[in-house]
Chains A and B, each alone.
Chain A
């Protein structure tokens, strides 16, 4: 069974810190990898999409990297803000567009 593991499950840091969220997966033949944000009681918002031929994507204070050979992806958040508090999920595409999700990292940024 293909699996996605996210570490840590929860993280609490003071405002302004840079932080890294980790995602590991067992399927090296992934098509692409996505990072999502989920606010409490809400759906998922796509943050960054990394195609299998790419190694990283950047959007504002967010940078996501992909290392298929090691089965890992990281999401780097620079200069964290309280508004970044949410659950962050990584997922890869399996087959014809079926997303396989990790359990998420619940992030809290303390003012």
Chain B
């Protein structure tokens, strides 16, 4: 696609439920990132994929958070037993192997009530 696509754009879920957020990176980009942005803050790194493997998952806050990228393209961020503190915008980004410019999607706005 022309840009990084994220779905859903908005998600409201009840505390304790499971959610999945999807990211479709720019075609051909091998590096994919997930960031989380709380209101009034800058984005915080969650996880980085190079191809199918998670090269750095040091930003995942706890074991309720998990991300996959099984075919090296689309990625899914999975959050189990959601808590109100998980409410934030989840941003996905991708880069090519040779370039340094990073392209962000518009984010998935998650609200846990």
Binding site for B on A (CB under 8 A): 4, 32, 34, 36, 41-46, 49, 51, 89, 91, 93, 95-104
Interface hits, B66-101 → A, CB 8 Å: 91, 93, 95, 100-101
B40 within 8 A of A: yes
Once the chains are docked, how many angstroms separate the CA of A54 from the CA of B95?
21
Once the chains are docked, how many angstroms separate the CA of A42 from the CA of B43?
12
Kindly supply a per-residue 1/0 record for chain B positions 3-22, scoring 1 wherever the CB is within 8 Å of any chain A CB and 0 otherwise. 01000000000000000000
Closest B residue to A34 by beta carbon equals B102
Binding site for A on B (CB under 8 A): 4, 31, 33, 35, 40-45, 48, 50, 55-56, 58-59, 91, 93, 95, 100-107
Residue of B33, B43, B44, B103 near A46 (CB, 8 A) is B103
Residue of B4, B56, B91, B103 near A98 (CB, 8 A) is B56
Once the chains are docked, how many angstroms separate the CA of A101 from the CA of B102?
13
8 sampled A-B residue pairs with Cβ under 8 A = A36-B104, A41-B106, A44-B91, A46-B101, A96-B50, A97-B48, A101-B44, A102-B42
For B45, what are the chain A residues with a Cβ–Cβ distance below 8 Å? 98-100
State the main secondary structure of chain A at its contact with B: strand
State whether B102 touches A42 (Cβ < 8 A).
no
Given A32-B100, A34-B102, A97-B31 in contact, is the A44-B43 Cβ separation under 8 Å? yes
Once the chains are docked, how many angstroms separate the CA of A14 from the CA of B50?
44
For B105, what are the chain A residues with a Cβ–Cβ distance below 8 Å? 43
Once the chains are docked, how many angstroms separate the CA of A89 from the CA of B37?
12
Residue of B40, B56, B101 near A103 (CB, 8 A) is B40
Once the chains are docked, how many angstroms separate the CA of A84 from the CA of B41?
20
